[in-house]
Structure 1
Amino acid sequence: MTIDFTLTPQQRVLQEAARDFAQNVLRPVVREADDEPDPLRAFNLTRPAYQEAVKRGIAFSMLPKQYGGGGLSNVDFVIAAEEICAVDPGFATTILVNGLGLMPVWYYGTEEQKERFISRATSDTSGEFIVGYAASEPPGSPGGTANFDAPAVNGAGMSVTATLDGDEYVVNGRKYWPCNVGGWDNRGADLNLVVVRTDREADGTRGLSALIVERGTPGVTYSSISTSGQRLAPNCEIVFDDARVPAANLIEGTRGNGDLLINRNFAWSGPVAGIAAVGVARAAYEAALEWAKTYTAGGPQPIIEYQYPGYVLGDVATKIEAARYFCWKGAHYIDEHDYHGELIGAMNKVLCTEMLFDCVYKCMQVVGVNSVDRRHLFERYLREASVLPLYDAGNFGMQRRRIHGVMAHSSFDPRALMDNRAVDFDKSMEGIDTVPGPRAERSEPFVSA
């Protein structure tokens, strides 16, 4: 029995539907929104496309059917995501973050919480329901999002605190970079999943949890961040000033396990970020190939007939194909292993997003100086290529550290991914590289929803 990379008839239909949405609904708004200097206005220019994405079942397609979602497998999701990312990865990030905000409720929430939050999102009829995910915090010391799982207590990891006061948590601190969290008007997304420090005396592997902060919660303010790439994805700073959140909004399985939530979230999004890189690289490659087949540079034939452009574009095409199938492998692995893929998800993210920058620049070399003319979109592809290795858990500090932590552990089997066997991820694999000196093995058991 052979390994089959052929899409099923249903997957072909899904791919064509995503391509139709990307080309005919999303593409017409991308240039204006990308050029708009005001980030909140830029985001709102995508609102009709988002409403159509809700109508077509795209916006919550990753959520389980049991709670009203589309029920797509991870493989199906990345097949569809590539088509959207080839047109604009920022808009695709907006869709992705709906999942980053609600998938943890599915993993770790009580049945009541799943119905209250997931079903509420999927049953909304406005076409504008949006969900945020807030983990990242401002740079500075003490703190640092990249060290969220550090074993040190004082100054390590996240500093947004949630203190229990009766039947409410009082939340204070700042988040920086979270996507979707401001909603359409910077008054808050409908639901925001926020990773907070619920135990000030515990380290990053024991003191973090996740709360759902609902739109209209007093004491929470949002302000837009203007970014160089992913301009159609709305990033914000959040300030919590004695914001009171019902204790019932703490996602039960994340109590003291916010570190595992973060790692699992970014494992799930690894193949999606990887396929975003494939989509952008594909767009740059196809544009450069078309240029090479029609541009003569004053010579007797199009430049594709010459060795250098042909070899360079051949290398680019090869990398795109390899990255696409690695993302399919990662998504399939996560489907097979209860939505755990902390190792392979990080590998997807690192390999594919760093491949992207090289591919885009090589395409620009083929096109030459004309590639910096904004009419040809290469400058936008280059901006996106610079962002992808840095966002969605940076390749340095978070993604590579997860790979390192798994690989250095005494239980690591280097052939596990090859054999499609589970690679368990637990707290003893966290915190590597975050403090100087030898790392002590911790004995906490693997925690799974």
Structure 2
Amino acid sequence: MAIDFTLTNAQRRLQRVAREFANDILAPLVRAADEDPDPQRGFHAIKGAYVESYKLGFATGFIPKKYGGGGISNVDLQVVVEELTAIDPGFATILLVNGLALMPLVWFGSEAQKRKWLIPATSDPRAEYLAAWTVSEPSGSPGGTANFDGAAPYPAGIALTATHDKKNGEYILNGRKFWPCNAGGWDLKGADVNVCIVRTAPKSGGTEGLSAIIVPRGTAGVHYEQPISKLGHRLSQNNSIVFKDCRVAEENVFAVGQGDLVINKAFTWSGPVAAIAAVGVARSAYEYALKWAKTYTGGGDRPIIQHQAVAYTLAEVAMKVEACRAFAWKAAHYHDQNNADGHAVGPMAKVFCSELLFDAVFQAMKAVGVNALDRTHPLERYLREAAVFPLYDAGNIGMQMRKICTVMADPRFDPRAIANSEPTPFYKSPP
């Protein structure tokens, strides 16, 4: 039978290594880093754990073996991410963003660009390499990036401009970015590379005027401001960045005029990863609440799990966790079969699981009761972390739902394609 949810021996080993790393190396650092009021200091506090994760291959395992990566499948990635996010999803986001930044080079870069930028990413002797996916911009009127592919020209959508100086063989960048993860690096002097989405044709709309460009660490004209202090995912770093007459070699540009497709595919690839991340957090909340319910009596003479209201509540949470894991695995498997072109199922998994599991975490808190608010217990942190999932990674309302609907509205869309693992291409415009 083709359908089999049994992990292979190799996947079980991967799961065991990821779980041991998460429990033994990452977990002891999480509480202090999460509670540190200085987000950069909290981010830097987990650098040692990141170094160890890099050595294990978690930071670049998704890169093809040809360029020094692990060449793991999307399903393999699911196994690792669930274990990491069960301890802390902010830390796992650092690794995810390496993929958001570097996988576009795998899909859209030239062979020369892949060798120049991917091989150093997978062979850093320091094991500190960070890549940043630098897309989001400050809110305003206009502002933000949710409608990056709209018909409006500059300054709507992507407002970081890249003017081509053909005489000197450079692009000159001017503008701001807001929210990119990893961008400031360990010392706020920049990640090893920032893969930026820029507007190379200011008079064109988002489907013609956007491109991608690689800004390496040390490039003049880039200023990294203090990271944003966030509700959740506090172990990951989100930056405010100013570009002023920043000159980048023209050989660093790729996907010219196709930047919208780069954004769409990157956030399609990350959809199942965000979905399984939500599973990891909800799993931890469920297991904590279940253990509590089996020992806590609530002032009665028996554990509260023996009361139907509590048992039913936790049973519903358990069902949601299992259903969402299956959906995340399905989407990842689809990506493995279709070159990460699951432009409907990837966002579907992300939206469905992130929305459902936020509620699951809150239900677990209700089973525990008022003690869930006590910060000596982890449940309030799980709720803060769960609140991030519907909002980040191309927010559910901002981008992901719109992409699902765009794919479905196309006359070429086959509603049975996802069930059959057949392609559901994403096109710039209908035929």
Q: TM-score range by the shorter chain?
A: over 0.9
What are the Cα deviations for residues 204-225 of structure 1, in whole angstroms up to 9, with x where unaligned? 0110000000001111011211
Q: What is the DSSP-based 3-state SS (H/G/I as helix, E as strand, rest coil) of the residue aligned with 2:132?
A: strand
Name the CA distance, whole Å, in 2 between partners of 1:22 and 1:65.
25
Q: CA deviation at 1:314?
A: 0.3
2:215 is matched with which residue?
A: 213
**1:197-236 → structure 2 map (5 Å cutoff):** 197-223=199-225, 224-236=227-239
Name the CA distance, whole Å, in 2 between partners of 1:52 and 1:191.
20
Amino acid at match of 2:178: Y
2:106 is matched with which residue?
A: 106
Name the CA distance, whole Å, in 2 between partners of 1:130 and 1:205.
29
1:58 is matched with which residue?
A: 58
Let me know the Cα RMSD of the aligned residues: 0.9
Name the CA distance, whole Å, in 2 between partners of 1:155 and 1:170.
16
1:372 is matched with which residue?
A: 373
What are the Cα deviations for residues 220-251 of structure 1, in whole angstroms up to 9, with x where unaligned? 01121111100001000110001000000002
CA contact (8 A) 1:64 1:70 kept: yes
Q: CA deviation at 1:154?
A: 5.0
1:431 is matched with which residue?
A: none
Name the CA distance, whole Å, in 2 between partners of 1:358 and 1:144.
27
Name the CA distance, whole Å, in 1 between partners of 2:417 and 2:8.
27
Q: What is the TM-score when the length of structure 2 is the normalising length?
A: 0.98
Q: What is the DSSP-based 3-state SS (H/G/I as helix, E as strand, rest coil) of the residue aligned with 2:72?
A: coil
Q: CA deviation at 1:152?
A: 2.4
Q: CA deviation at 1:77?
A: 0.4
2:185 is matched with which residue?
A: 183
Structure 1, unmatched stretches of 5+, are 429-440, 444-449
The alignment status of 1:11 with 2:11, answered yes or no, reads yes
Name the CA distance, whole Å, in 1 between partners of 2:214 and 2:31.
34
CA contact (8 A) 1:141 1:155 kept: no
What are the Cα deviations for residues 319-348 of structure 1, in whole angstroms up to 9, with x where unaligned? 100000110000010110012111111001
Q: What is the DSSP-based 3-state SS (H/G/I as helix, E as strand, rest coil) of the residue aligned with 2:416?
A: coil
Stretch moving more, 12-21 or 153-162? 153-162
- After TM superposition, the runs of 4+ consecutive aligned structure 1 residues lying more than 2 A away are 152-156
Name the CA distance, whole Å, in 2 between partners of 1:263 and 1:125.
32
2:422 is matched with which residue?
A: 421
What are the Cα deviations for residues 368-409 of structure 1, in whole angstroms up to 9, with x where unaligned? 000000011111011111111000100002000001111111
Name the CA distance, whole Å, in 1 between partners of 2:108 and 2:139.
29
CA contact (8 A) 1:177 1:225 kept: yes
Q: What is the TM-score when the length of structure 1 is the normalising length?
A: 0.94
Q: What is the DSSP-based 3-state SS (H/G/I as helix, E as strand, rest coil) of the residue aligned with 2:195?
A: strand
The alignment status of 1:264 with 2:300, answered yes or no, reads no
Q: What is the DSSP-based 3-state SS (H/G/I as helix, E as strand, rest coil) of the residue aligned with 1:147?
A: coil
2:306 is matched with which residue?
A: 305
Question: Which of 246, 250, 253 is equivalent to 1:250?
Answer: 253
1:135 is matched with which residue?
A: 135
Q: CA deviation at 1:159?
A: 0.5
Name the CA distance, whole Å, in 2 between partners of 1:96 and 1:138.
22
**1:37-56 → structure 2 map (5 Å cutoff):** 37-56=37-56
Identity value in percent:
56
2:161 is matched with which residue?
A: 161
Q: What is the DSSP-based 3-state SS (H/G/I as helix, E as strand, rest coil) of the residue aligned with 1:342?
A: coil
Q: What is the DSSP-based 3-state SS (H/G/I as helix, E as strand, rest coil) of the residue aligned with 2:125?
A: coil
The alignment status of 1:318 with 2:316, answered yes or no, reads no
Name the CA distance, whole Å, in 2 between partners of 1:81 and 1:381.
16
What are the Cα deviations for residues 80-130 of structure 1, in whole angstroms up to 9, with x where unaligned? 110000000000000011111111111111111111000011111011111
Q: CA deviation at 1:156?
A: 2.8
Stretch moving more, 351-360 or 145-154? 145-154
Name the CA distance, whole Å, in 2 between partners of 1:199 and 1:206.
8
Amino acid at match of 1:198: T
Amino acid at match of 2:250: A
Q: CA deviation at 1:2?
A: 4.9
Amino acid at match of 2:20: D
Name the CA distance, whole Å, in 2 between partners of 1:35 and 1:281.
21
What are the Cα deviations for residues 408-433 of structure 1, in whole angstroms up to 9, with x where unaligned? 111111111011110010101xxxxx
Q: What is the DSSP-based 3-state SS (H/G/I as helix, E as strand, rest coil) of the residue aligned with 1:376?
A: coil
Question: Which of 240, 243, 246 is equivalent to 2:243?
Answer: 240
Q: CA deviation at 1:144?
A: 2.7
Q: CA deviation at 1:155?
A: 4.0
Name the CA distance, whole Å, in 1 between partners of 2:422 and 2:121.
34
CA contact (8 A) 1:195 1:211 kept: yes
2:355 is matched with which residue?
A: 354
2:402 is matched with which residue?
A: 401
Name the CA distance, whole Å, in 2 between partners of 1:366 and 1:411.
46
1:391 is matched with which residue?
A: 392
What are the Cα deviations for residues 289-339 of structure 1, in whole angstroms up to 9, with x where unaligned? 000000001211100011001001000000100000110000010110012
Structure 2, unmatched stretches of 5+, are none
Q: What is the DSSP-based 3-state SS (H/G/I as helix, E as strand, rest coil) of the residue aligned with 1:230?
A: coil
2:125 is matched with which residue?
A: 125
Q: CA deviation at 1:357?
A: 1.1
Q: What is the DSSP-based 3-state SS (H/G/I as helix, E as strand, rest coil) of the residue aligned with 2:180?
A: strand
Name the CA distance, whole Å, in 1 between partners of 2:25 and 2:71.
23
Q: CA deviation at 1:151?
A: 1.7
Q: What is the DSSP-based 3-state SS (H/G/I as helix, E as strand, rest coil) of the residue aligned with 1:112?
A: helix
Name the CA distance, whole Å, in 2 between partners of 1:158 and 1:175.
9
Amino acid at match of 2:320: K
Name the CA distance, whole Å, in 1 between partners of 2:103 and 2:427.
19
Name the CA distance, whole Å, in 2 between partners of 1:106 and 1:154.
28
Amino acid at match of 2:247: R
Name the CA distance, whole Å, in 2 between partners of 1:119 and 1:406.
34
What are the Cα deviations for residues 28-76 of structure 1, in whole angstroms up to 9, with x where unaligned? 1000100111011000000000010111111111111110011110000
